[in-house]
Structure formats: C-alpha cells, structure tokens
Amino acid sequence: MSFFKRKKDKENQYGWFGNYSSWDALTSLSGGYEAGTILDITREALLKIKIGEAVYERDSVLFDQKIYPYSVISALLYTAIECENALNVIDFGGSLGSTYYQVRDLIPASVKMHWSVVEQENYVRCGQQLFADEILKFHFTIQESLAAKKADVLLLSSVVQYLEKPHEFLLEVMDYGFKYIIIDRTAFIKNNQPDRLTLQIVSPEIYEARYPAWFFNEEKFLGYFKDYELKAEFTSYVEGEQEMEIDHIKAGYDKGFFFVKK
C-alpha cells in the first residue's frame, strides 16, 4: 500500500458518519463534550490567548494568524449601534470564551460590552476561576445569566447541532424574546432532506473525541424564527465547512443567520 493510500485511508476515519434513529443509539459510541480531555486542551489553549502567548484559538486549536468571523462581528456592531453603544451578549455553548477572544479586537472601546458564556458545569467553574473579568462572565443557564444581566443578543455558534433536543431548545429560545439572535457555524443537510443525526469523529490532531451531531433541514430550522426578520445569512468563515461530507459524500454545509425581532 502506498504512502498516499495510507494517508487517505487515515483521513477517511474522521468526519461525520451514519444516519442514526435516536440520540440514545449514539451514546455508547461517543463520549460527548463532557470528556475532561477536551476541557483541558481548550483551557490551556485559551490561557495562552489570555496572556498573549498566542493570537487565535478555534475549537481548541491554536493558530499563528487570526481569522475573524466578520459576519458575526458585523451583526454585533449592528446591535451595539441599535442599543446605544451597549453590547450585552449571552454566548450559549461558548466554551471558555472562544468567540469573545476572536471578536473583541474589532469591538470599539467606546462600546460598553458584557459577555456571558452559558456552558456545562465544568466549563463554567473553570471559566469563573481562570477567565472571568469585568466583561467576560460565566453562567450555568440562560435564566441565571439573564438574572445577573439583561441581554439583548443571543449568540449560538457551532452549538445547536450538538444538543440532544435541539428543536425543544429552539422553542425555549423563542420564549425568551431576545431582540437579536446570531447563529453561526450551524450544520444543515443538502437537498431539503430531513434532519440527520450523525456520529462525528474528531481527528486526534485536534483531540480524540466522538459525539453525536445533527444536520438540520434548513427550512424547518428557519420556521422557528417567524417573529424575527432575517437580516442576513452567511456561509461559515471556517475553511471546509461551506461543504461537508457525511459518509464521504458531500451532503451538508455550515451556515449562519442574523435575526432581528420584529
């Protein structure tokens, strides 16, 4: 077997696979985001960002050049202007503040910013201990975050597809009545197919992990936002996410939206 054949076979082991009937069918095959290793790697990467030893982190991977999510930044600046130079964000599933560290350079100092990450318990405790400051906060639930500080913006970046019950979550989100909702890096299925539940196998170059991952029917997904104006939609800023393979077939894509309450 040639080197290139071995390399291709190895690459084919990672990505998105299957079409599972239930979340429970995947639990024995995956460890999910609860795995301590993921938190450890993410913590060490973001500590380097915090103290200036590195410039950019995404999905726990450090880069030597910053890649800005310009669509998200544009939406944040729009909301800041609309809210009289204030930017109060709930970043649901925001890890240890990854998106905050990505965008803060391009938010003017004149904008009064408050950024609350809502995450799993182990991330929240780590964030409160090592990363929280006068701007960046960490909370266990959306309710707790809102009780501490009213938020105008809900940010959902690469998170909804990793929830066990995403549709129930979206219904819950509608009840909060956020004025602005920014959705980024969310996975959809091509050709108007129904939602598809897959097993994502992460390359060990990032970290060793397997977890369930949804690909949504875009039309059904957008149906939850009837009370919102779709201000903008955009493709993922991450290379390779504009077109994604399931079982080695180009069947999905990552996309984002900016909604403003009517």
Instruction: State pLDDT tens for residues 16-32.
Output: 999 999 898 887 776 55
pLDDT at 229 over 70: yes
Which residue stretches of the chain are H helix?
Answer: 3-11, 24-27, 36-50, 70-82, 98-103, 121-130, 142-148, 166-176, 218-222
Q: 242 or 262: whose pLDDT is higher?
A: 262
**Amino acid present at 63:** F
User: In which residue are the tokens 């309710």 written?
Assistant: 143
Residue 65 maps to which CATH number? 3.40.50.150
Strand 249-261 to 244-246 pairing: antiparallel
What pTM, to 2 d.p., does this model score?
0.90
The HSE-up count of residue 19 (CA atoms within 13 Å, CB side) is 13
Residue 198 lies in a domain: yes
List pLDDT tens digits, range 119-172: 999 999 999 999 999 999 999 999 999 999 999 999 999 999 999 999 999 999
pLDDT of 13 reads: 87
Residue 114 lies in a domain: yes
Residue 2 lies in a domain: no
Instruction: Give the domain range for residue 61.
Output: 25-261
CB 226 within 8 A of CB 195: no
* 3-class state of residue 162 by DSSP: helix
Domains held by the chain: number: 1
pLDDT at 69 over 90: yes
pLDDT at 64 over 80: no
